[in-house]
Amino acid sequence: MTDLTEQPADLLSSLIDTCLKAGASDADAAFGRSQGVSVEVRGGELESIERSESQGVSLRCFFGQRQASVSGSDTSADGLKALAERCVAMARAVPEDPYCGIAPAEDLATDMPDLDLTGDGEIPADVLEREAVEAEAAALAVPGVQQVASCGNGWSESERWVAASNGFAAYKKGGSTGLGLAAVAERDGAMERDYESRSVRRVEDRPSPQEIGTIAGERTVARLGPRKVKTQTGTVIYDKRLSSSLIGAFLSAISGPSVARGVSFLKDRMGEQVFAKGVNLIDDPFRPRGMGSRVHDGEGRAVARTALVDDGVLTRWLLNGASAKQMGLEPNGYASGGFGGAPGVGVSNAYIEAGEMSPEAAMAQAKEGLLVTDMFGPSINPNTGDYSVGVAGFWFEDGAVAYPVSEVTIAGDLPGIFSRLVPLSDLEFRGSRDAPSILVEGMSIAGS
């Protein structure tokens, strides 16, 4: 890795100036560097330790409606000169893209609050190892757990500088730490596996290693002796650990590029009731220590806390500059990535607000149904919203968990699922996509 000979902000400014002097109409660029350490333990001993370090620069040039992107890790003067020359030559040669471009100055973010994203910094390797060993021991202490298949702990830290010829420049430093393990239990020759993991900005916000290990062990043992269920139509409750998968499907359907191409089952539903009344889907970029928090989008535009779904009504598409131009609309701060490459579309910290009913109360009200705690390979038709996924979990009867189940498929159409879903009360912020447990009636449950 080549040492920097100038500050990253100056490096990007020089790189952009080189492109403009070569005839580019605009340019944007990013420089990033990251480092981290991860450990794996087995049988109470350190099994492996790995340290990673990287840095790189990316550059995008425009010649009118032509654009090209390049990236590299050589930040020497000669390396940067070659990078700029390569990008300029490519941009001159590619076909025109009528929708490309960078943000006008009046759209750029100016408010850059401190969101406390830097994390704890470097965590000593012996501390990572000790915590992992403690988590593994806690899982193995759960009666019925036979072994821990994997147990890892680590920290990472990244810095990113971005700049563009429209005058925008910003810097972000982020850090996180994560601990997780998978446990294995066996009964009558049949083995089951489950896990627990947590990633946070700061260790003080994470459960203890013992708690993480115990949760993984108890989940695993609870899955022993699964039964089959009869094929039927019934109530499904998505556990909060995986209910956010429904958010992901929804966000894909309101993505500007998908809507512009006509490959979204919600493409004609703007301003309509897509969830039940009372359901709100929020995107909050300014959450302190949030895993997806940001102060600007991938094109430098301002971001804001927004109700993407307000009282069940769809309020907006997720638009970057290109998809907004394609649809004849205004960009709204949902570009992702960008700077040195064509931006995509994405949210920050999206979550469904909690409802009033607890999961226990929901099971009591439904009487019987399927509590889904694991899923495998969802299949979604983006045009129709047809949806199916293999799941495992627990059958509940008389309002209480009765026995574990496996080899089950649940299916439905996402527009119908969204319109019927009921958020429960156990919302917990764990990542950049969060939801409480979710109840959906009238699901197709395929078993034996």
Taking only the tens place, the pLDDT of each residue in 351-403 is 999 999 999 999 999 999 999 999 998 999 999 999 999 999 999 999 899 99
- The DSSP call for residue 260 is H
412 in Cβ contact with 249 (< 8 Å): no
CA atoms 307, 311, 312, 317: torsion sign: negative
> What does the pLDDT average to over 128-142?
98
pLDDT tens, position by position, 92-118: 999 999 999 999 999 999 999 999 999
> What is the pLDDT confidence band of residue 6, given thresholds at 50, 70 and 90?
low
User: How much is the pLDDT for 188?
Assistant: 86
> What is the pLDDT confidence band of residue 235, given thresholds at 50, 70 and 90?
very high
User: How much is the pLDDT for 150?
Assistant: 97
- The letter for the amino acid at 201 is R
CA 364 to each of CA 186, 227, 317, 358, 369: distance values in angstroms, whole numbers, following the listed order? 31, 21, 37, 10, 10
3-state secondary structure 313-347: EECCCECCHHHHHHHCCCCCCCEECCCCCCCEECC
Characterize the bridge pairing of strands 190-200 and 26-42: unpaired
- The DSSP call for residue 108 is B
354 in Cβ contact with 223 (< 8 Å): no
Supply the mean pLDDT for the chain. Answer: 96
Alpha-carbon dihedral of residues 276, 278, 283, 289, nearest 10 degrees? -130
In this predicted structure, the answer to whether residue 4 has a pLDDT above a threshold of 90 is no
Alpha-carbon distance of 311 to 274, in angstroms, equals 10
Element (H, E) at 400: strand 400-413
Alpha-carbon distance of 151 to 47, in angstroms, equals 10
Answer whether CATH 3.30.2290.10 is correct for domain 125-222.
yes
- The letter for the amino acid at 316 is R
Domain parsing of the chain, residue ranges: 8-37+47-105, 125-222, 226-448
- The DSSP call for residue 204 is G
In this predicted structure, the answer to whether residue 232 has a pLDDT above a threshold of 80 is yes
- The letter for the amino acid at 171 is Y
User: How much is the pLDDT for 448?
Assistant: 82
- The letter for the amino acid at 59 is L
Ranking 3-7, 311-315, 423-427, 437-441 by mean pLDDT, the lowest is 3-7
In this predicted structure, the answer to whether residue 189 has a pLDDT above a threshold of 90 is no
Q: Closest Cα to residue 29, out of 84, 110, 98?
A: 84
User: How much is the pLDDT for 60?
Assistant: 98
Can you tell me which residue has the tokens 């030559």? 89
Please check whether the two domains, 8-37+47-105 and 125-222, share a CATH topology.
yes
> What is the pLDDT confidence band of residue 270, given thresholds at 50, 70 and 90?
very high
In this predicted structure, the answer to whether residue 172 has a pLDDT above a threshold of 60 is yes
Alpha-carbon distance of 181 to 211, in angstroms, equals 12
Angle at 295 between CA 290 and CA 297, to 5 degrees: 105
Alpha helices in 67-178 (DSSP H): 77-93, 125-140
- The letter for the amino acid at 300 is G
First to last CA, the chain: 57
> What is the pLDDT confidence band of residue 1, given thresholds at 50, 70 and 90?
very low
> What is the pLDDT confidence band of residue 437, given thresholds at 50, 70 and 90?
very high
User: How much is the pLDDT for 377?
Assistant: 86
Q: Closest Cα to residue 352, out of 264, 255, 297, 278?
A: 278
Can you tell me which residue has the tokens 């197709």? 444
What tokens does 93 get?
A: 């040669």
pLDDT tens, position by position, 19-78: 999 999 999 999 999 999 999 999 999 999 999 999 999 999 999 999 999 999 999 989
Classified by CATH at the fold level, domain 8-37+47-105 comes out as: PmbA/TldD fold (3.30.2290)
Alpha-carbon distance of 433 to 246, in angstroms, equals 10
- The distance of Cα 291 from the centroid of its chain, to the nearest Å, equals 8
Alpha-carbon distance of 200 to 139, in angstroms, equals 21
In this predicted structure, the answer to whether residue 202 has a pLDDT above a threshold of 50 is yes
Can you tell me which residue has the tokens 């927004």? 306
Alpha-carbon distance of 434 to 136, in angstroms, equals 27
**Residue 122, beta-bridge partner list:** none
* % of residues, the chain, pLDDT over 90: 96
Q: Rg of the chain over CA atoms, in angstroms?
A: 24
